[in-house]
Amino acid sequence: MGLFKISQGRSLWMVHFCTGCGAVEMPPTMTSRFDMERFGVAPMATPRQADVLLITGYLTVKTLKRVIMVYEQMPTPRYVIGFGSCTVNGGIYWDSYNVIKNLDLYIPVDLYIFGCMPRPESILDAFLKLRKMIEEGKANKWKDYIERYDWYKQNQAKLFDVNKWRVQK
């Protein structure tokens, strides 16, 4: 474990993409009671400054396009954390035609935080797990996106096919 990996794991800058109720757990995580900055995790204003994309809430086809744009703007190495059951299986909207059920098909996800809604302790635990994965050299899903770019783009194209959503007469 080199000095670079240790430094990288202890300075995680996050961009938060919220589409639902997941945002209510972020302020307590950032304020004095839990203080995620003591672990080196800080929110950033733009994806070009961030290492971690934290996705909270459910994703629709329309918002997934924006998530992909944000992910592709981030510098490498970049990491993704799916927050709450909505990012895992659609959550309470699992039966909606327009909700993304498996985020891993469209962008690589390094960690999921399970629950509806996960507590601030779970968020901190996920960042500490990600730190450990980075320091051990195991957080390499961003390389998978580069190596299998065509596969990811093919899955995205299937989902974004506008003719699929048109009502047939």
What residue numbers bound the domain in which 77 lies? 3-165
- Asked if 116 and 91 count as a contact pair (C-beta separation under 8 A), the reply is yes
DSSP, res 46: S
How far apart, in Å, are the Cα atoms of 18 and each of 75, 88, 133? 20, 15, 24
Whole-angstrom distance between the N-terminal and C-terminal Cα of the chain?
61
Task: Kindly report the CATH number assigned to the domain that includes residue 157.
Answer: 3.40.50.12280
Q: Which residue has the higher pLDDT, 142 or 2?
A: 142
Number of domains into which the chain is organized:
1
Nearest to 97 by CA among 166, 47, 145: 166
Tokens of 161: 């096919």
**Mean per-residue pLDDT, 132-148:** 91
CB of 37 closer than 8 Å to CB of 124: no
Rounded to an integer, the average pLDDT of 3-24 is 76
Residue-wise pLDDT tens digits, 20-72: 777 777 777 777 788 888 888 888 889 999 999 999 888 888 899 999 999 99
Closest CA to 54 of 81, 87, 29: 81
Residue 87 has pLDDT above 80, yes or no: yes
What's the whole-model pTM score? 0.86
